[in-house]
Amino acid sequence: MDVDVAALGESMVTFLPSRPGRLADVPSFDRAIGGAESNVACALAAFGHTARWVSRVGADGFGDHLLERIAGYGVDVTAVHRDPGRPTGVYFRTAGDRGTGAHEVAYYRAGSAASAMSVTNVDLAAARSARVLHLTGITAALSEECRELLHELTAPAPGRPLVSFDVNYRPGLWGNGADAQLLLDLARRADIVFVGADEARDAWGLHGGRSLVQALPQPDLVVVKQGRAGAIAFHKNTDGTEDADGTATHVPAPRVDVVAHVGAGDAFAAGFLSATLRGLTVRDRLRHGHLFAAAALTTPGDLAAPPARGHADRLAALDDDAWGRLRLGPGWTRAEQAEEEANIP
């Protein structure tokens, strides 16, 4: 295993509006990057882990931009193949949060280089040569070839890395939702599953953590994200025995002065996986997930620098009362302002 984490999936060049308004009215856009899997790899690399992004991009300027930006975070991009016959995907979005009815996203990813990922044109060895392989349901929505690739990478095999799967259910990609069972099947083949309570309801009609974990008995850990209410991890009993539900650990989310919701789910996964790699307790894995998510929530754009490791560890070690009083605002991750920006009344 030559890196801590390998993340496989599509990244796109993102165009962010210069001001609020409909896409039809916005006169100009700023360029950024976005991709669930590469977001996780970038956050982990910025936190000091070794990370690799595995994908395909076009042999075009947008592909150059993605590779340069992601490598700039310290991520290994040598397993990203260039496709001379297909473009790099791009998308435009409005300035409003995704949860509002006024939010618009226009994807131009059909026929992209990443949508053609398959078991024959992706570096499988690079994906498997990691302690953790991170995948998401977004890749499964791109093409039949991508679905076959995920089935190959999640198949039980000797020496398989720990497989992390973020359901990341995007109805706009799936259309009529007829492939919800496919996402459930992929989740059952993973070791760690991340899913929002709203995603479980919308994709599978499951309400409540217990019903979800009963539908997913195979993974060692099922992490259910509950928004401002926090997150709960259902995991196998530490003594090696099993019962119908295993053990549940709930950690409330700290109060956050939100700047933008984009990228918080990816950041949460990165924080949880970082703490997993470091052998921390399930409680502290959830706390690190919340802290990484808070870094994203207090920063505009899809990517945010995580807190310094020492600062994150100090906050994660707070007693329950102090954690419950924690409030994080813009700029809290800057080490030189850590004590002032992390307001613990």
- Among 76, 123, 166, 266, the active-site one is 266
pLDDT over 90 for what percent of the chain? Answer: 68
To the query of whether residue 198 is one of the catalytic residues in this protein, the response is no
On the question of pLDDT at 18 being above 80, the answer is yes
Rounded distance between C-alpha atoms, residue 279 and residue 275, angstroms = 6
Reduced 3-state DSSP string for 143-185:
CHHHHHHHHHHHCCCCCCCEEEEECCCCHHHHCCCCCHHHHHH
At 134-180, the pLDDT tens digits run 999 999 999 999 999 999 999 999 999 999 999 998 877 776 555 78
At 195-214, the pLDDT tens digits run 999 889 988 888 887 788 88
DSSP state of 76: B
Tell me if residue 191 falls in helix, strand or coil. Answer: coil
Rounded distance between C-alpha atoms, residue 267 and residue 182, angstroms = 25
At 112-122, the pLDDT tens digits run 999 999 999 99
Rounded distance between C-alpha atoms, residue 184 and residue 167, angstroms = 8
Rounded distance between C-alpha atoms, residue 303 and residue 282, angstroms = 25
